[in-house]
Each structure stands twice: as C-alpha cells, then as structure tokens.
Amino acid sequence: MIDTGATHSIITEKTLRRTKHRKFITNRNLQLFMGDGYSPLEAIGVVDLDIRINSTLTTISAFVVKHLSADCLLGMDYINKYKLKLDMAEHTVSIRTNRTITTISINQQPEELRLPVRLINSVIVPPLQEVSVLVSAGISSASVLFKPSFNLKQQVPLLMCNSILAVERHTTSVPLYNPSHYPQYLSKGIILGTIRFPPDQTEKEEKHIHSDLSSSILIKNICLQVADISASDNSELNILRLLAHIQHETQHSQLQSVLLQSPKPFDNSKSTIATTTLYHTIPTIEHHPFASKPFPLYGEKRQELKKLLDELQLSGHIRRSDSHYAAPAILVEKKDEKYRLVVDYRQLNSVTIKDPFPLPRMEDTLQELGQGYRYFSKLDLKS
C-alpha cells in the first residue's frame, strides 16, 4: 500500500517472514507514532527491502512492526526516492530509476481493509450517562463505517453503536453509553472497534452520467447497512436495561454474556409474527353476519387510528378484508400518553360457542413446575 501520510516505509513481521530479505540493519525496539501523533507503533527493527516492480528492482529501508492495518506501507521515503507518481485517471503508478520509467496498474479490487480505532486518552464513563471520546482512526480524512469491538463489549458494559464516522486529521469521536450503575474505566490506547471504507455501489459505466445519483445511492446503501445492524444494537440495549438492577458485578457480567448469545428474542425494533401451522376458527351458533357501524373519531384520534392501522398492515398483523363482518375500533390512551387499539367484539362474543374446558388452577400449575424451587421465571411458564 502506498501511504503519502507516512514518513517512513513499514512492513509487518508476519509479511517479512514470507519474503527473502537481508539481515536487520538494527534489531532494537523503536518507538513510532501514527499520523494522529497519539497512537504508538512499536517497531522491532529496521530491514532493507528489495521491491521488484515489473523488471525494475528497487530498495528501501523499512521499519518492522508486529501489527499494522496493511501488510506493507510504502511511505514518503520511497515516494521521494523513486519520484513515484499516481495517475488516478488511468489507474496507474509509475516510478523513475535513473532514466527509466516503470509503470504498473493499480489494483482495482483490493482486500477489504479494516483499521483499528484506538482511544487517545483514558476516560471514565459515569453511570447511566453518555460521553463522546476522541479516538485515533489511522487515516487522514474520510467517511467510514464503524463497528464496535465484540471482545471489548464482552469485558466492559458499555454500549457502542455501528455508525458512520467522519475522520479529520487522523481523529474522530465515538459516543459511549454506560447503562450500568457503576463508573466504567477505559485506558489510553485500547481498541474500541474497527473502521472500513464503505463499498462503492456504482457501476463504472454510469459514473460519468449519473454522478449525483450515484452519490445518493451510495449514501442510501450506507444508511441501509447501518440500519440492518441496528437490530443487534437494539437487542443489546434492551438486555443492558433488563440487567441494570443487578448490583453484583460478576453476576451482571455472567448473565449479560449468556443473554448476548441469543439476542434475537430481545429485539423489539420491529414487530414479529409467530409461525404456526394451525388454522384458526371461531365456532359460532347459527346467525346472520353483522356489520357494526364505526365509532365516531375526529381530529387527532382519527389520525392516530390511521397511523396504527398502517403500522399493523405494514408489519403483516392485519390485512384488507372484504368480509361481511365488521366490528368497530376505538382508541384507549395508555400511561405514556400513546394510544392502544381496541376492537369491540361484543356482537361476535354473543354468538360464539364457549369453550367448556375449565381454566387451570394456579396452585396445580405451580406444583407441576417442580418441588423445592423458590423462584420461577416467565421462561419456566413459557415452557
């Protein structure tokens, strides 16, 4: 990878082992810093690299590091030495050696690059509060997709969301929310997650015709990707809220780890419908179909009723019907000042054949759950 923001060329130790190389110029540990000036980069030595471009052999002294976002970075030392030029119109790179110019094509489909996002300063997140922290992104400036570290979320009860970040001067900010009743500490340099560049959703042949449209499509696709991931964030947030009352830190961590293994039941971001093979019927006595008149609703309540019906139809809970039966609907205000849909089925109930089977006694039900237990959860009753 060619990096105009790097003063020196760098190669990872793992990549170096796969190549034939000379001995280290120096093998003492050296302290480097990334472009943000904060994030340290530990070098274990310096080595002379032979880099062949077509038939032209080039050399450069490179720092050897343990970890890096790319296998090898060619920095400004290499760019200046060989007067490297980038032609983005032709997608080529050319270098000059003596009087010879060597040109190669740029790889149009490189492997997806993920860069670590590190905390610049140590931070303490107060209980039940959100703070925005400054992080090092490893690139100079770009709009990138952020994904939180799964390992960090397992260790520290902090909530981070998948989001789009704007990187400027190698830094950006990430919001952290602490849903627990304890302050949470994060040390300087810890990896909060990774960032990657959004995929290009436009076709090459359409770029010169639909540049504005392509940009809007790209933004829309990025938003859709973030929205697709948000269901897992919703589940995690609900789990953390459910566990907020647990004061014992070890029990809180253990239970959170168990629940996060099956996050889907805790996602209430959208309505779901259970799958069943039963055909539902309502047994009735002989009667003529009835169609009750709707209750009068005006103004705000009428708009709320339409909104509720549209949401239920969109989620698949109701559908348009041409039935000869009709029951009126009303709205009942809830404690949170929202409305609940209620349907008046009294006429239907008057002709329904009652189920003669008696309701179970709660004492008998509890006895069947098991002997010697003091606590029973909703999951026990569900099973």
Q: Quick one: pLDDT at residue 214?
A: 34
Q: What is the structure's pLDDT at 36?
A: 56
Place of tokens 């076709």: 203
pLDDT tens figures, 16-29: 888 777 777 776 67
Instruction: Taking residues 342-347, report their average pLDDT.
Output: 92
> In terms of Cα–Cα distance, which of 164, 180, 184 is closest to 172?
164
pLDDT digits (tens, 9 = 90+) for 173-203: 999 988 888 888 888 888 899 888 876 533 3
What pLDDT was estimated at residue 380? 67
Helix axes 211-242, 249-259, angle to 10 degrees: 130
Check: CB of residue 178 under 8 Å from CB of residue 184: yes
* Segment holding 166, helix H or strand E: strand 163-168
Identify which has the larger pLDDT, 79 or 274. Answer: 79
Please give the average per-residue pLDDT across 198-227, as a whole number: 39
Share of the chain above pLDDT 90, in %: 6
Which pLDDT belongs to residue 232?
57
Amino acid 157: pLDDT = 84
- Among 41, 36, 103, 99, which residue's Cα sits nearest to residue 67? 41
Residues of the chain with CATH 2.70.40.10: 114-242
pTM score: 0.39
Q: What is the pLDDT of residue 205?
A: 35
Task: Provide, for the chain, the percentages of residues in helix, strand and coil under a 3-state DSSP scheme, each rounded to the nearest 5.
Answer: 25, 30, 45
Mean pLDDT of 318-346: 88
**Residue 278 pLDDT level (bands cut at 50, 70, 90):** confident
Residues of the chain with CATH 3.10.10.10: 278-383
Interval 125-152: pLDDT, tens: 998 888 999 998 877 778 888 889 888 8
Q: Is the pLDDT of residue 204 over 50?
A: no
Neighbour count for residue 179 (Cβ, 10 Å): 20
Q: In this predicted structure, what is the pLDDT of residue 153?
A: 79
- Provide the pLDDT for residue 226: 38
The CATH number of domain 278-383 is 3.10.10.10: yes
CATH 2.40.70.10 residue window(s) in the chain? 9-105
| 321 pLDDT higher than 70 | yes
Q: What tokens does 37 get? A: 């000036």
What are the Cα distances from residue 336, in Å, to 332, 333, 339, 340? 11, 8, 9, 11
Higher pLDDT, 238 or 234: 238
Task: Give the model's confidence band at 328: pLDDT under 50 very low, under 70 low, under 90 confident, else very high.
Answer: very high
Question: E strand or H helix at 317, and its extent?
Answer: none
Q: How far apart are CA 248 and CA 330, in angstroms?
A: 45
Q: What are phi and psi of 309, to 5 degrees?
A: -65, -40
Confidence at residue 353, expressed as pLDDT on a 0 to 100 scale: 92
Cα–Cα dist 137/165, whole Å = 10
Would you state the pLDDT for residue 351? 92
Q: What is the pLDDT of residue 370?
A: 67
The Cα 322–Cα 236 span in angstroms is 42
Q: Which two tokens stand for residue 252?
A: 């809180």
List, for residues 106-123, the tens digit of each pLDDT value.
765 555 677 888 888 889
Lowest-confidence region among 6-10, 88-92, 187-191, 231-235: 231-235
Determine the topology of domain 9-105 in CATH.
Cathepsin D, subunit A; domain 1 (2.40.70)
Looking at the structure, give the CATH architecture of the domain made up of residues 114-242: Distorted Sandwich (2.70)
Average pLDDT over residues 325-347: 89
Mean of the pLDDT values across residues 267-288?
A: 81
| Exposed e or buried b per residue across 253-267, where buried means at least 16 C-beta atoms within 10 angstroms of its C-beta | beebeebbeebeebb
Average pLDDT, the chain: 78
- The pLDDT confidence band at residue 47, using thresholds 50, 70 and 90, is confident
